[in-house]
Chains A and B, each alone.
Chain A
Amino acid sequence: MSDSVHEHDQPLSGPALRVKALESLLTEKGLVDPKALDELIDTYETKVGPRNGARIVARAWVDPAYRQWLLADATAAIAEFGFIGRQGEDMVVLENTPKVRNMVVCTLCSCYPWPVLGLPPVWYKSAPYRSRAVIDPRGVLKELGNEVPDDVEVRVWDSTAELRYLVLPERPAGTEGWSEDELAGIVTRDAMIGVAQVTVPAESRR
């Protein structure tokens, strides 16, 4: 965020200058409307994000019928919440169990389920993650503090089609009796990509 503050009092360079020139050209040519650009930015900066996916996960944890529907027809079950459209047209939900961990990557570009997770974080789009997730998933998970025992299977899903994946993490112990909203509050973006597990934060323990 600090970058954008500084940009107002420093000369633009590199990509900032090119984007500004391109926007000015496309506006002058009547190809884009600056107000629409603001609306696009606002949508992904303030309206769409991993809180959406967390609601799906929490519902699946408390409602076995919803969980079954989600695993059988994720697109329809997620649309029930109104989370539809661009980069989430066809959804697949991958269920973690004590014996199976799922992890999602896009080795070729940056495919990511926008309607439920928002825009992807930098690390997901980065060369280290894209190169290593398929060849060394256990090494990546270990580095991220999520070591996988030898007897647990790791399934890596490379998003090479117009299908988007959401991982359904395991519900952590100690959350019995929690409300759906409380559960949604502890589900993280990284758990829904499959590089973390959901844990109960110390301040939430009862």
Chain B
Amino acid sequence: MNGVHDMGGMHGMGPVEIEKNEPVFHAEWERHAFALTLASGFRGRWNIDMGRYSREQMPPAEYLATTYYEHWLFGLEKLLVDEKLVTANELATGHAEARAGAEGILRASEVAVFLRNRRNARLDDDVPPRFKAGDRVVARNIHPVGHTRLPRYARGRHGVIDRDHGVFIFPDTNAMSRDKKPQHCYSVRFAARELWGPEAAACDSVYVNLWDDHLDPA
């Protein structure tokens, strides 16, 4: 979706300010928004791409006016209701109408293993690549209303395949319908001038990870 989360190239957001000796969390509620999101995801009722898409659906004015873990909280509440782990009424009242089964709950003793396990965005499927390193490509000029990992600033732009990373889940369909649609994921090099015009430095470039379904031969 052409949402406000797709920020690459926007102006007016202000200076980058690095906080010295920054703590991992800035408030107790941030710790818990983070942990609740990971622990709820343990049930496997949604995938990482659905998680990202849930945050992207925060209304744009609200997205810009709130902090990072408020985006997470919005996404978590939405997923819990959409995937029917919690009813809208339970969320509104704060009181449980029914209890979940004990299976699928993340226990403290399982946390270390849970965090170390691979989640396998990389797949073993034998899918041939459409491109190889050095091929000239053009990113498709598409504007899906759902989730996509093709940033707006790269659409319609010409680039070169830098490397083929192998076969991965395709997030654009995995977020919308849990269709993994296995295909090759590449690093595509775009010259800074191709993206931003003659004011950009001639030698600079931006590398974007894109999938076969994002690209056409140029």
Contacts and interface: CB of A to CB of B under 8 A. Distances in A.
A29 interface: yes
Contact of A4 (B27, B102, B151): B27
Given A15-B69, A37-B39, A135-B9, A163 B165 contact: yes
Contact of A162 (B106, B117, B121): B121
Interface in B106-129: 106-108, 110-112, 115-122
A26 B100 CA distance: 9
B94 to A, nearest CB: 4
A26 B70 CA distance: 18
A90 interface: yes
Interface string B12-54: 0111111100111111110111111011100100001000100
Contacts of A59: none
Nearest to A155: B205
Contacts of B39: 32-33, 36-37, 40
A161 B185 contact: yes
Nearest to B116: A85
Contacts of B16: 123, 126, 128-129, 132, 140, 143-144
Interface string B64-79: 1011111001001100
Nearest to A101: B204
A41 B33 CA distance: 10
B76 A107 contact: no
Contact of B32 (A37, A123, A144, A153): A37
Interface stretch (A114-122, A168-176, A179-187): A114-122
A99 B177 CA distance: 44
B122 A30 contact: no
Contacts of A22: 36, 73, 76-77, 91
Interface residues of A, number: 81
B28 A25 contact: no
A122 B26 CA distance: 10
A108 B13 contact: no
A51 interface: no
A137 interface: yes
Contacts of A37: 32, 35-36, 39
A154 B204 CA distance: 5
A123 B17 contact: yes
A161 B170 CA distance: 9
Contacts of B195: 134-135
B159 to A, nearest CB: 12
A159 B151 CA distance: 11
Contact of B105 (A1, A15, A32, A92): A32
A2 to B, nearest CB: 9
Contact of B38 (A40, A118, A154): A40
Contacts of B67: 15
Contacts of B69: 15
Contacts of A135: 8-9, 153, 195-196, 200
Given A3-B27, A31-B40, A39-B108, A155 B207 contact: yes
A198 interface: no
B149 A161 contact: yes
Given A32-B36, A131-B11, A154-B201, A41 B118 contact: no
A28 B6 CA distance: 37
Nearest to A82: B116
B218 interface: no
Contact of A16 (B29, B34, B43, B118): B29
A66 interface: no
A134 B29 contact: no
Interface of A: 1, 3-4, 7, 12, 15-16, 18-26, 28-33, 35-41, 43-45, 49, 84-86, 89-90, 92, 105, 107-110, 118-119, 121-123, 125-135, 137-138, 140, 143-144, 150-163, 190, 195
Which 8 residue pairs across A and B have the least CB separation, nearest first?
A: A162-B121, A161-B209, A107-B8, A85-B116, A37-B35, A16-B29, A131-B10, A35-B108
